[in-house]
Structure 1
Amino acid sequence: MRWGTIGTSKITEEFINGLRKISNQKITACYSRTKDTATAFIEKNALLTAVGFTNFDAMLSVVDVVYIASPNGLHFDQAKYFLNNHKHVLLEKPLTFTVSQAEELIKLANQNGVILMEAFKTTHLPQYHELKKWTENNHAFLSTLIMNQYSSRMPEVKMGLYRSVFDPLLGKGSTYDMLVYPVELAISLFGPVNRQLSMTWRLENNVGLTNMLLLEHHGGVFTNITTSKAARGVAPSEIIGQDGATATFSQLTRLQNMRFYELHNKSPLKEIKGSNENPFVYEINDFLALVANKDFNKMNDYLQITLQTIAVLEKVDHDK
């Protein structure tokens, strides 16, 4: 398939490296606002089959699918354009800022017979399925999910400069750029949310920097979430099941160093280190399977979790 990319950040480079490991895929178009930036990105990543573009219309004839990794606030309009033009779209998280925007994109994808998927890597990892099975077998009832990552933009923030992810229109801060990860993982593991309580430490422009969130899922599971872009976290996440069963893991987005414990054992009963494989490989393969099989049922199952996640984030954002 012929891929176009939108965005020239590190995550786009990680995507490209993952795509290279999958046969019969090639990047034919790279979009940036300036031709020089697009050309430099192509040269840096040795994309011999790609051409730089500064106009979406010109890309349409050379791509079958588009990977969008632009600033969060641009996701909706860009995805809508390509879905309207019957192109498959792999869209970075968060899919959109609002439920109504997400519902519009989902409707477009179904109407036009093209695949839309949020690029949420965690639930496509092999070890995610191990964790999901463990939570079901051990009747998990309580989870603590932690994701703290000190932002490279904190020096600017301290000077009162709120750019990129901290821009209220383009990024919306920790709420949409970081909290999305543990919320979507929790909903994937434990189901829809019945009730939520949140506190957000906000910058002067009202954008989130640190979030604390408590979720009650329909099945009765409680999830406690802490995220911050102003801290470096080292504590693992933890899920507790019946009869003292406990699961822990680090690097929430990659589910590394998973350990499963029983009540009276200090040493883990089982350990899963996690793969060193580029996590995009699993995600892209699942996306391509949706395309090849025209599997709109599974696409919509994925997107229901995405919708439920956005609903939680939208409420957090509105809880001033």
Structure 2
Amino acid sequence: MKWGIIGPGAIAQQFAAALKFSERGELYAVASRNLQRAGEFACRFGATISYGDYESLIGDDQVDAIYIATPHSHHFHYAALCLQANKHLLLEKPLTVNAAQTEYLVALAEQHQCVLQEALWSRFMPCFAQVKQWMANDIGQVQYISSQIGFAFSHLRNHRITSPALAGGALLDLGVYSISISQYLLAEYPSQIQALGLLNNDQVDQNTLVNLSYPSGVTSQFVCTIGAQSSNVMTIHGKQGYIQIPRYFWNGEQAQLFQDDKLVETIDFPHPTNGFEYQIESVMDSVEQGRLCDPRMNHQDSINVMKTLDEVRRQIGLQFPIEIESLN
């Protein structure tokens, strides 16, 4: 399968490095708004062709699947063009900046019978499959999930994470992990959402605190921040024990099982390359099997994650420019 990359930034470098080890896929094309940058990336990772605009890559008949790694403010427009051109698509998290845009893309994927996969990489990792197994068998009835995710980014100037025009802030960039992973582990969607947030001088959320209540009675609580260095740990608490995912929990590199407050098992999950390989192979599995997404991160999951993000944004007053919120 011939892959193209739109947006050759730091995240795309990890994608390209993982794709090198795939037996089924190859990096064929790279597109940037700067042709020199695209060419340098193509040379580094062995792509056949480079483009100085995104539309040319989308229109290349040799491209089978596209990975979009632009800021999420620009996901919707180019994802729609990809699907309309009948390209399979791996789209960085979050898929879009609101639920209406995600629903539109899902409808396009169904219309064109193309894979549309949200690249929430944690969902595809063996670590979280093990956590689900422990939750079902080893810690008793689950009571709540807690997590922190954050880094002291707010001092950065002229950076996407501090720019409202690029849908910046802690919530969409970092908090999405806590929401999506909790939703995956519990296999249900929140029925009640409570949020508090601090907007900084750039008018993006610096610190956001959220309580999610689920129909089963379980609660997920998280803090996401671009103003502080966090512990970056997720813990699933049950009546007879708990599970801890330490060391940047979304990387899925280790899980620990505690029973009666005693550590009884630690499992390391070293990635064969860098962790991107799981979602890459998932997309190619979907193409081969004729499905439009992986059941571990299905379209309804993506829509409901975005609905949760929409409600949190409403409660904390986080707004983005109309031009990146629209369906045009």
Distance 1:210 1:297, change over 3 A: closer
* Aligned-pair CA distance for 1:52: 3.0
Supply the AA of the counterpart residue of 1:309.
Answer: V
Q: Aligned ranges for residues 39-50 of structure 1 at < 5 Å?
A: 39-43=39-43, 45-50=44-49
Aligned-partner SS, 2:306: helix
Q: Distance in 2 between matches of 1:175 and 1:102?
A: 17
Q: Aligned ranges for residues 183-262 of structure 1 at < 5 Å?
A: 183-190=179-186, 191-234=188-231, 236-243=233-240, 245-250=241-246, 251-262=248-259
Q: Which residue of 2 aligns with 1:100?
A: 100
Q: Does 1:21 align with 2:21?
A: yes
* Aligned-pair CA distance for 1:301: 6.1
* Structure 2: 5+ residue stretches without partners: 318-328
Q: Which residue of 2 aligns with 1:308?
A: 304
CA RMSD of aligned residues (A): 1.8
| Corresponding pairs, count | 310
Supply the AA of the counterpart residue of 1:176.
Answer: L
Deviation string 1:137-167 (CA, Å, 9 cap, x unpaired) is 332111111112232xx433xxxx4541221
Does the CA-based 8 Å contact 1:116-1:299 persist in structure 2?
A: no
Distance 1:290 1:148, change over 3 A: same
Q: Distance in 2 between matches of 1:185 and 1:66?
A: 24
Does the CA-based 8 Å contact 2:8-2:32 persist in structure 1?
A: yes
Supply the AA of the counterpart residue of 2:48.
Answer: T
Q: Which residue of 2 aligns with 1:296?
A: 292
Does the CA-based 8 Å contact 1:258-1:271 persist in structure 2?
A: yes
Q: Which residue of 2 aligns with 1:276?
A: 271
State percent identity of aligned pairs: 23
Q: Distance in 2 between matches of 1:26 and 1:297?
A: 20
Q: Distance in 2 between matches of 1:57 and 1:85?
A: 11
Distance 1:272 1:196, change over 3 A: same
Aligned-partner SS, 1:212: strand
Q: Distance in 1 between matches of 2:152 and 2:253?
A: 19
Aligned-partner SS, 2:212: strand
Does the CA-based 8 Å contact 1:42-1:52 persist in structure 2?
A: no
Q: Does 1:147 align with 2:149?
A: yes
TM-score (norm. length: structure 2): 0.89
* Aligned-pair CA distance for 1:59: 4.2
Supply the AA of the counterpart residue of 1:241.
Answer: G
* Aligned-pair CA distance for 1:172: 2.7
Structure 1 consecutive aligned stretches of length 4 or more whose deviation exceeds 3 Å = 296-301
TM-score (norm. length: structure 1): 0.91
Q: Distance in 2 between matches of 1:80 and 1:88?
A: 11
Q: Distance in 1 between matches of 2:237 and 2:164?
A: 36
Q: Distance in 1 between matches of 2:232 and 2:79?
A: 36
Aligned-partner SS, 1:62: coil
Supply the AA of the counterpart residue of 1:177.
Answer: D
